[in-house]
Amino acid sequence: YAGLRSGEIRGLRFMDVDLPREQIIVRQAICRGVADAPKSGHERKVPIASPLLPLVKAAFDRPHGPTDSVSVSSRGDPWADGSLLKAFRRVLDRAKLPRARMHDLRHFFVTECFRAGAPAPDVQRLAGHRHLHVTQRYAHTDEESQREAMAAFSARMVAKGSAAATA
């Protein structure tokens, strides 16, 4: 629900969550146990989606310090590189869904943002991409989404045409 990279999920600390503003500040990623700047090289702010907000608030109910990890395993341990992926695959197996990569969730996030009508520069910033052409590679389309886009376009043109005819 935030489009974060797996390293950014592992790097998310309580001090990186601004609950009053309902936003996540992506400041670091943890890869192979090493904390570093996010892949884009700069921090970004991501509004917390409404389905994610109760989960983030629940994390704040646990005892924690400002530098503790927000997202932890069921044992309360910070995620290691492979353990987050293993947990994701267990969820897919239980749901009887095909194998997928954690990174596929970012593709899903970008695609759904575009389908919801978000402007390309906003999606680019939310995903933390430096260049818009990278964001475009993440956006997937199919015949159904193209039909929905054309229906929305048609409805808009009909409405404008009706307004013009009335004027």
pLDDT of residue 156: 83
pLDDT digits 0-9 by tens, 35-83: 999 988 889 999 999 999 999 999 999 999 999 999 999 888 999 888 9
Q: Smallest Cα–Cα separation from 71: which of 132, 122, 24?
A: 24
Tokens for 90, please give them: 């267990």
- Give the residue-averaged pLDDT of 158-167: 65
Number of H helices, E strands in the chain: 7, 5
Is 9 a residue whose pLDDT tops 90? yes
Select from 127, 30, 45 the least CA-distant residue to 82: 30
CA distance 124 to 104: 16
* Mean pLDDT computed over every residue of the chain: 91
Q: Which tens digits make up the pLDDT trace of 114-160? A: 988 899 999 999 999 999 999 999 988 888 888 887 888 888 888 88
